[in-house]
């Protein structure tokens, strides 16, 4: 493993290395606290290296390819002056970690919580998150999934315009504060996942092309030329990104990574980028003595994503299951069909529960082709499901969250549909208390032409979807400020009620033997017309059963209780008085106990969970 970047060795000694295989000369330009020019030596693999003394942490520097112009280090660990400024030497050994007893959490036990650092608190920093951790843990959340924190231009960005994959965003607090947050999470039993982007770099401050052939025009992505994972000189690119994953695991004690849009990463080599990443990750797991997880965002609908490389797979722990979101959303929000024309039938949601992928080889109108393959035999803990994520909210022209699209009753049903599933659930920040602040797309570029292109691009994108209003200006600071959570309301009225509803569902999920079983062979769904469904799950030993009754319509529907148990006892009912908001109709909660073959009238927009008593079969 080649340690590129500035590697501080202690005693004011530091080794600098940069990959630039087609350059003849490389100069290390130290600019603070004193200026110095050091020539670097080239090895046979295209790496320039220099060892320097009297280099203290905090020293700032540039590299100068072919001695022509200064650029920041492509593997910089800190950019305190932003994407165009000098890189800074970081002493990673200086932080005194307090998590030596942390051994991670089983992936199947996680309740993920996607979070944008800049908008989660008024301060928008890593350190400001720490006081909120206890309340998240009390609700039942045990894993943060941070949107990208790699250095991006300016102070406001979703993070997908990052241009220094090894550097921690300076406006969030830099490396020290990030470590402090991870440490605080581990001390509270909370795992930390980080969203990383290995399919493209942002446009502003993207200097990698000035060093080496990081990009190729052999493939095209939505963001331009693809990263070069399989063409000439691709070894250095593969090392750069696979070692980046190890960087987060080792230096920041991250528990897992979520990889953005893996379907836009192209590699036709005999040993693929995924093979290499999985091999390095597995070796590091053995060295660290704790599990390291990889989650994929994939548009392939292919079970290969979560299969082991020896079985021809990519080796991911799990992947986001967009089909589950689409199938559920169109049944919860009557306008959902406008966004997802290929969804809308209750049978599709049933398939999402029992199989995973809804589209598994059928003709799909949106794609104008047959799409996907079956995931029926794939374990439930290989998928992550959600009602919202940054894309689902942020790519609406008004940035509305689900709580502004549907009524309170449907919001409870949607939460239950996710948390009672055999999959690993993920909440979007503020979802647990029905935060009503929008989440817009925002940037803070310094290039005026780029700003104009982003502004016009967003307008064109929404116009293509037929929206009759213009999106807010992504560059405006107010767009960013409007997207900040209204944390102060979480313990008030309906917001507190929704938080308690999530807590009750998570507690049930975490403690009931049936819900701990992620084998999809033990999951069955019976549809009730197009209005509702019965989700039946059982424990691994087959001795305990849960029946989750969902009515998604505005009329009562009938359902006959199954015969797997003679007696059924109610565990949770969204229609009970304790879960009703002031504006909800009183309704008729279902009986506390019922029997096999008993026909129940399921109230409109409701969810009720019954347990089959042990020994009553």
Which has the minimum average pLDDT: 218-232, 320-334, 419-433? 218-232
**What is residue 564's predicted lDDT score, i.e. its pLDDT?**
85
Digit-coded pLDDT (tens) for 347-387: 999 999 999 999 999 999 999 999 999 999 999 999 999 99
The mean pLDDT of the chain is 95
Residue 582 binned pLDDT confidence (cut-offs 50, 70, 90): confident
Query: Three-class SS of residue 560?
Result: strand
Digit-coded pLDDT (tens) for 228-273: 999 999 999 999 999 999 999 999 999 999 999 999 999 999 999 9
Sign of the torsion formed by the C-alpha atoms of 348, 350, 356 and 362 = negative
- For residue 166, report the phi and psi dihedrals to the nearest 5 degrees: -95, -10
Distances, alpha carbon 320 to alpha carbons 305, 306, 381, 426, 553, in Å = 11, 11, 11, 9, 27
Q: Are 392 and 567 in contact (CB under 8 A)?
A: no
Euclidean distance between CA atoms 58 and 40, whole angstroms: 21
**What is residue 458's predicted lDDT score, i.e. its pLDDT?**
87
Beta-bridged to residue 225, according to DSSP, are 220
Digit-coded pLDDT (tens) for 387-410: 999 999 999 999 999 999 999 999
**What token pair was written down for 218?**
């052999």
Q: How many residues does the chain have?
A: 617
**What is residue 463's predicted lDDT score, i.e. its pLDDT?**
74
Strand spans (E) along 135-200: 143-146, 150-151, 164-168, 191-196
Residue 466 binned pLDDT confidence (cut-offs 50, 70, 90): low
- Does position 1 have pLDDT exceeding 60, yes or no? no
**What token pair was written down for 302?**
């292919």
Nearest of 536, 528, 616 to residue 568 by alpha carbon:
616
Nearest of 75, 73, 77 to residue 86 by alpha carbon:
73
**What is residue 617's predicted lDDT score, i.e. its pLDDT?**
44
**What is residue 438's predicted lDDT score, i.e. its pLDDT?**
97
Q: Are 110 and 424 in contact (CB under 8 A)?
A: yes
Q: Are 357 and 298 in contact (CB under 8 A)?
A: no
Euclidean distance between CA atoms 97 and 192, whole angstroms: 15
Give the DSSP H or E segment for 546: strand 545-551
Digit-coded pLDDT (tens) for 519-534: 999 999 999 999 999 9
Nearest of 316, 262, 295, 315 to residue 384 by alpha carbon:
295
- Does position 616 have pLDDT exceeding 80, yes or no? no
Residue 615 binned pLDDT confidence (cut-offs 50, 70, 90): low
Q: Are 234 and 19 in contact (CB under 8 A)?
A: no
**Average of per-residue pLDDT across 86-104:** 97
**What is residue 614's predicted lDDT score, i.e. its pLDDT?**
56
| List of domains in the chain | 5-94 (2.60.40.10), 110-320 (3.20.20.80), 521-612 (2.60.40.1180)
Positions marked catalytic: 260, 297
Q: What share of the chain is helix, strand, coil (3-state, %, to 5)?
A: 30, 25, 45
**What is residue 469's predicted lDDT score, i.e. its pLDDT?**
82
Which has the minimum average pLDDT: 25-29, 461-465, 478-482, 570-574? 461-465
Rounded to 10°, the helix 273-288/234-251 angle is: 30
């Amino acid at each position: 493993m080649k340690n590129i970047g500035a590697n501080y060795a202690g005693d004011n000694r530091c080794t600098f290395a940069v990959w630039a295989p087609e350059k003849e000369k490389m100069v290390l330009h130290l600019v603070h606290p004193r200026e110095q020019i050091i020539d670097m030596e080239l090895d046979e693999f295209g790496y320039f290296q220099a060892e320097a003394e009297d280099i203290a942490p905090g020293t700032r520097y540039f590299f100068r390819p072919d001695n022509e112009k200064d650029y920041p280090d492509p593997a910089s660990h800190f950019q305190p002056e932003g994407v165009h400024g000098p890189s800074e030497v970081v002493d990673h050994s200086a932080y005194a970690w307090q998590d030596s007893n942390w051994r991670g959490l089983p992936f199947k036990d996680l309740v993920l919580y996607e979070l944008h650092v800049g908008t989660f608190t008024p301060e928008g920093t890593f350190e400001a998150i720490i006081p909120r951790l206890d309340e998240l843990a009390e609700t039942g959340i045990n894993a943060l999934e941070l949107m990208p924190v790699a250095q991006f231009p300016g102070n406001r960005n979703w993070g997908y315009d990052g241009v220094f994959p090894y550097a921690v965003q300076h406006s969030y607090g830099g490396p020290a504060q990030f470590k402090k947050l991870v440490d605080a999470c581990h001390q509270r039993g909370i795992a930390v996942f980080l969203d990383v982007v290995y399919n493209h770099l942002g446009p502003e401050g993207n200097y990698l092309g000035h060093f080496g052939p990081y990009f190729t025009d052999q493939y095209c992505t939505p963001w331009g030329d693809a990263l070069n994972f399989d063409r000439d000189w691709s070894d250095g690119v593969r090392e750069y990104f696979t070692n980046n994953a190890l960087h987060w695991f080792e230096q920041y004690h991250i528990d897992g990574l979520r990889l953005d849009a893996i379907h836009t990463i192209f590699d036709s080599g005999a040993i693929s980028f995924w093979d290499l990443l999985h091999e390095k990750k597995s070796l590091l797991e053995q060295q660290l003595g704790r599990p390291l997880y990889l989650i994929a965002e994939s548009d392939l609908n292919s079970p290969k994503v979560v299969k082991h490389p020896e079985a021809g797979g990519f080796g991911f722990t799990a992947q986001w299951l967009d089909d589950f979101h689409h199938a559920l959303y169109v049944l919860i929000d009557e306008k959902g069909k406008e966004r997802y024309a290929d969804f809308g039938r209750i049978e599709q949601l049933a398939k999402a529960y029992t199989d995973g992928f809804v589209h598994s080889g059928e003709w799909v109108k949106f794609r104008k082709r047959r799409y996907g393959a079956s995931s029926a035999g794939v374990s439930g803990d290989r998928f992550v499901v959600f009602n919202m994520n940054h894309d689902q909210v942020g790519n609406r022209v008004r940035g509305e969250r689900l709580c502004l699209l549907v009524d309170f009753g449907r919001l409870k049903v949607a939460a239950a549909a996710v948390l009672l599933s055999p999959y690993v659930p993920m909440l979007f920040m503020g979802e647990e208390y029905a935060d009503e602040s929008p989440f817009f797309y925002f940037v803070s570029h310094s290039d005026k032409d780029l700003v104009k292109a982003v502004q016009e691009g967003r307008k064109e994108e929404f116009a293509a979807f037929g929206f009759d209003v213009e999106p807010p200006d992504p560059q405006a600071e107010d767009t960013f400020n409007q997207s900040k959570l209204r944390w102060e309301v979480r313990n008030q009225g309906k917001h507190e009620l929704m938080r308690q509803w999530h807590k009750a569902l998570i507690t049930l999920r975490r403690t009931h033997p049936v819900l701990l079983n992620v084998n999809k062979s033990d999951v069955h769904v019976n549809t009730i017309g197009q209005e509702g469904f019965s989700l039946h799950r059982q424990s691994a030993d087959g001795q305990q059963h849960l029946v989750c009754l969902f009515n998604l319509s505005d009329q009562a529907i009938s359902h006959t209780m199954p015969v797997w148990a003679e007696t059924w006892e109610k565990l949770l009912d969204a229609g009970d008085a304790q879960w009703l908001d002031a504006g909800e109709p009183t309704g008729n909660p279902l009986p506390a106990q019922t029997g096999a073959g008993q026909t129940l009238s399921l109230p409109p927009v409701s969810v009720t969970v019954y347990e089959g008593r042990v020994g009553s079969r």
